[in-house]
Amino acid sequence: MTTEERLINIETKLAFQEQTVNEMSDIIYQQQKKIDFLIRNNEFLVSHVQKLVDQSKSAEGIDERPPHY
- Angle, vertex CA 64, rays to CA 49 and CA 58, nearest 5: 35
Average pLDDT of the residues in 12-24: 98
pLDDT tens-digit series, residues 43-66: 999 999 999 998 888 876 665 666
Q: What is the DSSP letter of 68?
A: T
Full residue range of the structural domain in which residue 29 is found: 24-55
- Quick check: is 30 in a domain? yes
Please report the pLDDT score of residue 66 as a whole number. 67
- Quick check: is 67 in a domain? no
- Quick check: is 63 in a domain? no
